Amino acid sequence: MKEKKGFEMVVRYPDLDKVPASVTDDAEIEVIPLGRTYHGKEELREYAEWFFGSLSDIEIEVIDTTVSKGVMVSEIMVRATHTGPFLGYAPTGKRIEIRACRVFTLRDGLVHHGRIYYDLATVLRQIGAMEELKAA
E-strand ranges in the chain read 9-12, 23-31, 36-39, 55-68, 71-82, 95-107, 110-118
**Angle ∠(114,74,48) on CA atoms, nearest 5:** 55
Q: Say what the pLDDT of residue 4 is.
A: 43
Quickly state the pLDDT bin for 131 (edges 50, 70, 90): confident
Structure confidence by residue, pLDDT tens digits, 54-101: 999 888 889 999 999 999 999 999 999 999 999 999 999 999 999 999
Residues 26-42: what's their mean pLDDT? Answer: 96
Please report the sign of the dihedral spanned by the C-alpha atoms of residue 13, residue 18, residue 19, residue 23.
negative
Q: Say what the pLDDT of residue 5 is.
A: 45
Quickly state the pLDDT bin for 52 (edges 50, 70, 90): confident
Fold of the 9-135 domain: Nuclear Transport Factor 2; Chain: A, (3.10.450)
Task: Work out the percent of the chain whose per-residue pLDDT is above 90.
Answer: 64
Nearby residues of 100 by Cβ (< 8 Å), 6 or more positions away: 75, 76, 77, 78, 116, 117, 118
Higher-confidence residue of 131 and 132: namely 131
**14 within 8 A of 60, measured Cβ to Cβ:** yes
Higher-confidence residue of 47 and 17: namely 47
H-helix segments, the chain: 18-21, 40-53, 120-126, 129-135
